[in-house]
A and B are shown apart, each in its own frame.
Chain A
Amino acid sequence: MPVPQHLELFVDPSRCIGCQACVHACTECDTHRGDAMIHVEYVDRASSVQTVPVVCMHCEQPTCAEVCPADAIKRTGDGVVQSARKPRCIGCGNCVVACPFGVPELYIDRAIMMKCDMCYDRTSIGKKPMCATVCPSQALFFGTREQALALRPQSTPTHTFRFGEQTITTRVNVMVPRGPTAPSHVDVTAAMADRPHNRAMRLPVIDTRDPFAEVEV
């Protein structure tokens, strides 16, 4: 059974608390026992507790599949980009280098690439992916677009990303803080130029100054 088209994954990094519940839950999966296909990264722990969960974005035209010389990566009709097929994958790592989101990983001991397949074993039988089920802050939300819009009025789901000259459309959405106009895409390259400082997430907080500026040492 395919993953129903009306169910989507929405990633909201502003909600991520860095707890790694998703990572731990992912390691429980029977298909990649002990290894997590989701990653949680600090953006810059020295200056912020901001973390970001990284899942496969399930691109409409997956770069990983395009660069695979062995045709080991397939996108199923429901828009899920599957992990490398074992008999085909030659462990070359092309996909690892090419993915703009940095998702696929090469498991050298097994000579295979593995990545998030949106918990195909669960989502294809009507369940939510494990990460979105357990996420205690719902930085990972799985449901319908209507649900996401109702639950997240402060942000907009976006699934178009620009990396320099490359524009990518994905099945997975990232929630972007809502500004005066709805963003048509996320310019990832431009966003990387801004380092967050302390809390500085351009959110509507009352006071964005360094809260410790007046503290004497």
Chain B
Amino acid sequence: MAELPVDELAITRAFGPHLSAGTRGGTMEGPDKLVKTHCCFCGQQCGIQLKVRGNEVIGFEPWEDFPFNRGMLCPKGIKRYLQGSHPDRLVTALRRDPAAPGGFAAMPYDGAIAQVAREIARLQAQHGKAAVGVLGGASLTTEKTYLLGKFARVCLQTPYIDYNGRLCMVSAGAANKKAFGIDRTTNPWSDMVGTEVIWVAGSNVAECSPITTNYIWQAREQGAKVIVQDPRITPVARTCDLYLPVRPGRDAALFAGVLGLMIEHGWIDREFIAAHTAGFDQVEAYCKTWPAARTAEVTGVPERSLRAAAELWGTAKSSFLFHARGIEHHSNGVQNALGTINLVLASGRIGKPKSGYGTIVGQANGQGGREHGQKCDQLPGWRDITNPEHRAYIASVWKIDERDLPGPGVDAYEMFRKIDAGEIKGLVSICFNPKVSLPDNQFITRALGKLELYVAIDFFLNDTARHADIVLPGSLQEEDEGTVTQVEGRVIKINKAVECPGEARADWRILQDLAGALDRPHGFTFASPREIFEELRVASKGGVADYSGITYEKIDAQMGVFWPCYSHDPRTGAPAPDHPGTPRLFEAGSYNPVARGAGPFYFPDGKARFNVADYRAPVDDASEDYPIYLTTGRVVSQFLSGTQTRRIGPLVKQYPEPRIELHPRLAGKLGIADGDWTTCETRRGAITVRAMVVTTIRPDTVFIPYHWPGDKSPNRLTVAAQDPISKIPQYKVCGCRVRRADAPPGYAATLEPQQ
């Protein structure tokens, strides 16, 4: 059915979001134990100690020995403990029941598993294996993402699996693959301090990855110049040395123009380019089509600033460039990322202690979650599902016939188009809330309504799970163990603090229970995450993302292990139990199993690739009818679709609902004052939120954060245009019009229960 059983407000009243019991504000009774683990939210994966008493997480204590964050935490990490013992926590399985309060009735776990298995078997018998799809997420541990990929391909035998990293890291990943042959940040963050220039392209570091701010600013204290490219003056832009106020969607043009200026002035490393790269000539020719005046006109960045950027970047001796969703969330996202890589390669400053390149990962396991097989085109170890050798190897690890291994599926958004078209009739989702997070999300709601079977695994009833036929109670991060790979490429260990409450189960157990109930238990009889990890080590061996040398013990001993980490020396094949991992990629003289000594990059000739990173105007660009640029993003106290953070009282209080940021010049023209109800409308829909009139945004652009559902969701407005290579949606720009609202929105009259 997958339609809402009762109206949204009735579901909200029963299942939340309710607020956690205020700020517990410590406890006079001490904890029984402190558990060293990591934050459950963003890709920084800060070390944290959870205070545990009985089976409850009652607070936190900084973990000052963990080298990445040394005790530092952002508001989300500090208050994350309030998600445990939350009144909204799902402790039983639920089935859709329009007669039940809130539209869902509790049911026994075993009965729910049996019913889901029966329904999946029925759908697959009637319509074929591919009638059922799976959606995963990058906040899951690597063990879970590995098992989920295996579950889709071995148990369900469907090609249709993809994950919410499709909304996050795929543009960066695709660009890294094309340019370097490997997809990982090149250096540990500690390398930043002492560098000469840091370029931050499209990353609101202070709000989305707060701990990184300290690294950038420590580098600045030691003399680094900081360049920030963003349509908003974010906290890191406020004190940067050079601010590039780029018009949304024009990043590739900016990179081409700046590289053109560097070439013109001879500020490039011809020696490095000749020795270690291929393809520069085409890039050089392309950049010539972007003289400074044209670049300034297209990007909205003054020519003097472009020239200053070219000189700063071009003449530096050491540098880092970081980018995030600001340049990646575009229908031109891969080209934008390639544009940054061209700047890095032309400078020759990569593979050195104080020089490198990185993408700032969004989700907890944004890195590990994209390496081991929940992506539609990928098998474990960053292998290619269309490569016969890769298929044969994974089939051998999974002990199945290679012919039974499905081929590539489609991206997460395309899966919804297939649901809408009736091709996919059943969906199992975990760790994904597409009704809030996908663009043009009223289409997602309509598509959900066409599913014959929707099974959601979650710990809270998220906005999408409200459409489920069956909800299986999964695990919070602190209720299970496993590994994740954080922003630097460091594999770290999540440790279990408490047991799942009630009938909730560790997610991997739920998948195995389903496999068992489907009578397809082959390969799903692991007794622990450690056993899954041991198989993952073997499955990743020989792949580019090689984890074969990583063990839980090595992670503990080294406070994390940077992949690739080999069980056997890739040069000699001899066992290498002490291989420490690879903190820094592409160092001169380094050996990798793809280049086999030919060079530091992961191609057979060892050379990095320049790619022509061409500018294309955004889809649904600002136009006469929709003359203002709409861009979206995060605020510091909320995370993704808010399933967790909209339930944590102090975080909600910090930023209770979305506001639309606009410049006083635009506000003045539109007759909007600070705090006014303001309607933002695009070709997809309209929402009304309060105005926030600030000089810290381009006067031709408005910004709305995306953490809220329904009438507060800017993803009602965003366009479902996708990058042709990465399939990432274009969240960061579309044309809109803005007006003072005629009346307050409906939600202002009927406050949700948490307010």
Docked-complex contact A137 and B25, CB < 8 angstroms: no
Q: Of A18, A28, A151, which is in contact with the most chain B CB atoms at under 10 Å from its CB?
A: A28
* A180 close to chain B: CB less than 8 A: no
Give Cα A153 to B700, complex, Å. 38
Residues of B within 8 A of A138 (CB): 72, 214, 217-218
Question: Which listed residue (B64, B211, B241, B242) contacts A136, Cβ 8 A?
Answer: B211
Instruction: Provide the A190-217 mask, 1 if CB < 8 A to any CB of B, else 0.
Output: 0000000111010111110011101111
Docked-complex contact A151 and B71, CB < 8 angstroms: no
Docked-complex contact A199 and B238, CB < 8 angstroms: yes
* Secondary structure dominating the interface of A: loop
* B328 close to chain A: CB less than 8 A: no
Question: Which listed residue (B27, B218, B698) contacts A215, Cβ 8 A?
Answer: B698
Those of B646-674 within 8 Å (CB) of chain A: 650, 654, 663-666, 669, 674
Binds B, one of A44-52, A81-89, A100-108: A44-52
* A75 close to chain B: CB less than 8 A: no
**Pair count A-B, CB < 8 A:** 176
Docked-complex contact B695 and A212, CB < 8 angstroms: yes
Say how far A133's CB is from chain B's closest CB, in angstroms: 5
Say how far A173's CB is from chain B's closest CB, in angstroms: 16
With CB as the reference atom, state the residue of chain A lying closest to B654.
A20
Question: Which listed residue (B69, B73, B245) contacts A212, Cβ 8 A?
Answer: B245
Say how far A157's CB is from chain B's closest CB, in angstroms: 13
Give Cα A151 to B210, complex, Å. 19
Give Cα A15 to B308, complex, Å. 24
With CB as the reference atom, state the residue of chain B lying closest to A216.
B700
Residues of B within 8 A of A215 (CB): 245, 300, 698-700
Question: Which listed residue (A28, A35, A207, A216) contacts B243, Cβ 8 A?
Answer: A207
Docked-complex contact A24 and B78, CB < 8 angstroms: yes
With CB as the reference atom, state the residue of chain A lying closest to B222.
A153
With CB as the reference atom, state the residue of chain B lying closest to A32.
B25
Give Cα A11 to B60, complex, Å. 24
Give Cα A174 to B529, complex, Å. 48
Give Cα A207 to B207, complex, Å. 24
Query: Would A29 and B26 be within 8 Å (CB), given that A19-B210, A199-B243 are in contact?
Result: yes
Question: Which listed residue (B71, B238, B637) contacts A20, Cβ 8 A?
Answer: B637
Query: Would A19 and B636 be within 8 Å (CB), given that A46-B694, A211-B233 are in contact?
Result: yes
Docked-complex contact A33 and B694, CB < 8 angstroms: no
* A14 close to chain B: CB less than 8 A: yes
Question: Which listed residue (B79, B241, B636) contacts A204, Cβ 8 A?
Answer: B241
* A38 close to chain B: CB less than 8 A: no
Q: Of B213, B222, B236, B699, which is in contact with the most chain A CB atoms at under 10 Å from its CB?
A: B213
With CB as the reference atom, state the residue of chain A lying closest to B650.
A24
25 A-B pairs (CB sep. < 8 Å): A17-B210, A17-B213, A18-B636, A19-B75, A20-B75, A20-B637, A23-B75, A34-B22, A46-B674, A46-B693, A46-B694, A49-B234, A51-B235, A134-B62, A134-B71, A136-B69, A136-B214, A199-B233, A206-B241, A207-B304, A207-B308, A211-B243, A212-B699, A216-B700, A217-B665
User: Which residues of B come within 8 Å of A, CB atoms?
Assistant: 22-28, 59-60, 62, 64, 69, 71-75, 77-79, 206-207, 210-211, 213-214, 217-218, 220-222, 225, 233-243, 245, 300, 302, 304-305, 308, 312, 636-637, 650, 654, 663-666, 669, 674, 693-696, 698-700
Given A28-B59, A137-B214, 12 more A-B residue pairs with CB atoms under 8 Å apart are A15-B217, A24-B79, A24-B650, A34-B24, A35-B25, A48-B695, A50-B238, A137-B235, A199-B238, A201-B239, A205-B241, A205-B243
